[in-house]
Amino acid sequence: MKKLTKREKLLIYILGCFLIGFFGIYFVVLPSIQSYQVVNDQADEAQFTKESMEMAIDAIPSTMEARDAATVTLTSMKVGFPQQLTNEGLDMLLTQLCLDYSLSPRVLSIASNGMADVLVFIPYTSDDAASAAVGTGSTTNTGTETATEDVTSNNTTGETADTTSTDSTETAAGVQTLIGVVNMEVTGTQANFYRLLDAVAARPDMVITAFEIEPETATTGSTNTSGTAGSTTAGIAKLDGGKVAINVTFEVYMMAK
């Protein structure tokens, strides 16, 4: 067996040191660094959790005070709204309200009584600017062209209306609460009905969404049937005097207590 020279022994020694260093770094140092990073991240997360819990604990008194204040506010707001009423309860409530203002209920029908969307005010946007811009062009169109454009416009408008209606139905959303919708027909004077309007406007639990006032018609004449055509004379009471017939729609807002 040939003996190794000093140079070969030195190269083998250097190679062995290199292999020991490489495997030491790969299997010892790098895993230790990764473990240190994981532990350090866990320590940072634990420190952040600890600080968050300390802040939450320190904020407990103010949170309790805010909760108590919100509870008191909610209770005071619920006082003005009745508990959920049955159909008979709505009937009694609105009938008594009309009688309190000397209005005589004739017909009462309950359209709905349950969860429904609250009416939301939508600002009016006018299209006058777009319409005004049309008048700045030439006016040499013939009658045939105008008629054709009108027909096309009507068809397009119909299609647009259908599309708009569908889109609005799909995207409509609002806050829901217990609402009773009641349609009533009452008789009385306009002055008393205006008093009722003011009283309802001052209440937080109901609103009048629509009303229609019509004069009561009384037949005071006679009918002539001797000729080929008859004639009837009828006296119609004025709106600002005597009794009138009123169709009114109430919305009563209720809360579960």
74-113 confidence digits (pLDDT tens): 888 777 788 888 999 999 999 999 999 999 999 999 999 9
**Per-residue pLDDT tens over the stretch 176-220:** 888 999 999 999 999 999 999 999 999 988 999 999 998 876 443
- At residue 246, the pLDDT reads 94
Mean pLDDT, residues 55-74 taken together:
90
Alpha carbon 107 to its chain centroid, in Å, reads 31
Higher-pLDDT residue of 236, 73: 73
Alpha helices in 80-142 (DSSP H): 87-100, 128-134
Q: Using a CB cutoff of 8 Å and minimum separation of 24, what contacts does 34-42 make?
A: none
Model confidence over 118-165: pLDDT tens digits?
Answer: 766 677 776 655 444 444 444 344 444 444 444 344 444 444 434 433
Q: Is 126 helix (H, G, I), strand (E, B) or coil?
A: coil
- For residue 186, list its beta bridge partners: 105, 246
**What SS3 class is residue 229?**
coil
Cα distance between residue 155 and residue 157, in whole Å = 5
Cα 172 to Cα 160, 164, 165, 166, 253: the distances in Å are: 18, 12, 10, 10, 20
Q: pTM higher than 0.75, yes or no?
A: no
